[in-house]
Structure 1
Amino acid sequence: MYSFMLLLTGAAAAATVSYPDPVCAVRGSTVVLPCTFTPQSSFTQGGRLVPLKIIRVRWCVNHEICQLTTPSVYDSKTPTANPRYKYLGDMTGNCTLQISDIQEIDSTTFRFRMEADNRAGHFTGKSGVNVTVIDFVKMKIQSSEAAEDLNQNQHVTLTCSTSVCNFHQLEVTWFKDGNALLPSGPTLQLGPLTAKDSGNYTCALKTNQKTTSLPFAVRVEEEEEEEEKGLLDTDRSDTLLILGVLFGVLLLLSLILFLIRRKVSAAGKEQTAGGEMDQKQPDIIYSNFLPPAERQQEVEQEVEPEGEEVSYASVQFRHTNPARAPEQEAGDVIYSSLASK
């Protein structure tokens, strides 16, 4: 019964390898093949449980078993076999492989094999991962946010890829306005955005600048600038308002001064006219200079008002005729009559 349980435990702890989906790569790029494995922890021998330890790992191509004399792209016993292949894993569970400057020869199936300190622990993941290598293509940038929707303090993710392949990991070079940036992964994180992030972004495979993508424009306007703009507009409006008020006040003052001057001028004219009238208007004295006959007729026609004393004076002049003799001039008579009632 105990041996049966050990057999069940050994069977349950069988080795496994987990590969990524098929990989598409652009020639000259660097590609990472994510991989994990679970080694067999022990085996039974002579009715007892014997632990296992992984002592060698390998990546090979074009072979299902990946053993004996099969060419390996990576072998932990000879890690410098080919510098283009770099093992990023360990001996316990990570079997990730990185391929640099990938070439057409790498268009094949890669398989991982683990070897333990006992043959019972040797295992190869037969399914492997299929890699397809294509020729140079232009990279393209995809954004998590539309360019016209970018605002200050927002976060955006730019992804460098192609329309032909889906990359698990890709070494690319990012550029801003033609200047290289530090990030080398297929994604570029920007944020929180400021006006300094504005510019034209491009990407290309790290090993080939011919794959440079079309530019992706990022335009971010600072809120402070908008506030300053608003303040300037407000100041401009306030200035116009102040100027308008001042103009209105000056216009009102001008009108008041005009009315005051007009009133003063009119008063001066009235005083001048009044003075002239006082100086020129004499006492009215009525005097009739009529011939005696006409004066007598006038006196008879006048009606004396009651209670008033009226004095009449009549003066008659006879003009001297220059043609007459001097002796006759002495005979001229001047009539004057005074009547009192």
Structure 2
Amino acid sequence: MSNVSVCFSWQIFTMESCVLIILVAMPGVWGGAWGVTFGDLCALKGTSVVMNCSYDYPSGYSVTNVGWSRPHYAAASGKWRLFFLSRLPTPPVHFEYVGDYNGNCNLKIHDVQRTDEGNYYFSFVTTLDRYTSTTPARLSVKELTAIVRPSTVAEGDDVSLTCVLGCPARTAVVWFRDGQRVLKPVFQARREDAGRYYCAVLGQETVRSASVVLNVQYAPKNVTLSVSPPRGVVQGSSVAFACASDANPPVTPTAYSLYKDGQFVSAGQSHTVLGVQPSHSGLYRCQAWNNVSWRGVDLMNSTEIRLDVQYGPTYISVSLEPQHAVEGSRVNLTCSAVANPAADNYTWWHKRTDSASSSPGPMLWAGSGRVLTLPAVEASHAGLYVCRARNSVGEMSSAEMLLTMSRGKRGSQPHLIIAGVGGFLSVTLVIALLWYRKQRTHAERKPAVFGSGLGVRGSSSPATGDQLDAVYANVGTSQWSPPLATAAQDAASRSQRSARHEHELPTSDEAEVTYSTVTIQPRNPSFPPRTNNSRAPQKCGIQCLTLMAVDIHGRKRDTLV
């Protein structure tokens, strides 16, 4: 571009200045060194840079005006024209001249943007001439580029971070993840390392790269199972199960499974049971899978949740102890019920049954508690018994239990003991009577000694009538009285046998015999008494007298007088 064209294109110079420039530029009018020196510049987007520049002119001149310009498309003319930077639509103080009027033409650009990239020209005006650089200064605008390798990684794998500057100048950078400083550019990925990474110029952290996402894949963790309602599930109601987990990639709904007591129930993230029954009670867990393993494990389980289905009393039974009640004995009726929660209230109802009436009596309250005790059953206790059990869910009655009793011997233990003692005494008495009878029979079988008179051994004097009147011991009377002659003969025979028997006993066994005298009065008081000299046969008007002789060895001898 010639000086003339520049003069006409720039409207900031006066006509006199243009004439002066033309004259100076004409060969031979003036001579000197004119020039502008600068180089290309690479700047990072967002930084503030200084475009170094210097200019020169002949001595004897003084600079009166300087300026930077760059080509700009003029919509009115449809051509590219040079416009001073102050006339361009830029933010205030975006371009700042930091040079002087004596050879330094540095230009500082604040917050470099992509639109700032291009060619820049410098021109200056002296008292006699003006000059514009013939070649432009080239500004290249680059951005920081963050690179994460690999961008998708499994948990536990290595990750490296690289920041590409774009400009040849070496610049220190730092790394951030979601605004938090990252200390190491190389690390082993954890699930919490996932996020958005960018690099920035150290000291100018606002100069940063675009964010790059690090995707850390990991197996399902924090697998949870929730139940609604969480507690108080009542028989017949509905319950819903829902599975959830923290996983990358997320677990699809069909990759969840529900198990009860180790048995598969259904597949899916949710499961609903309508009309819950006690059989649904148990331990439930959720299992999740997303095709990523953790330490060789692919399937991850939640913690187990116990489902406790509550229901009212059922299967109520009544037991009777003892089975056969006796009037006056103790009877316990026990009520058992299956319920969840356990039954906490028991009531007993009694209905008397009258055999004489065809219809039973009304049902009356009999007591409360799980065990109904009848200390001593009576006839009024007989009949039908019903137990009603209740918990927080509901209540239910048992089937009727019939209580009957016998009116015979009481089966209580004291009566059994009395009966046993009575039997023992009876047996003992029978044995004693048999022994006594045996001894009596043995005594009667021994030979008896008869004498014609009464007296003491060694004495020959007959007994007197007064002696007959004395009663000494052991008297036996017969129910009948034999003739006196017959009695005398028997007495003589017995006396002989007795004498012979005493003669046969050893002398050492002999013992003194003590006789007792007994007088038997005749039934007829007018009957004359018998004398010792009477030998005539007489009717047994008096009772026969039996004298028992007892020796020291216990042998018995009888004497009939």
TM-score scaled to structure 2, two decimals?
A: 0.22
Structure with max Cα Rg: 2
- Whichever structure has more strand as a proportion of its residues is 2
Work out which structure has the larger RCO, using CA pairs closer than 8 Å and 6 or more positions apart in sequence.
Answer: 1
- Give the helix-richer structure, 1 or 2: 1
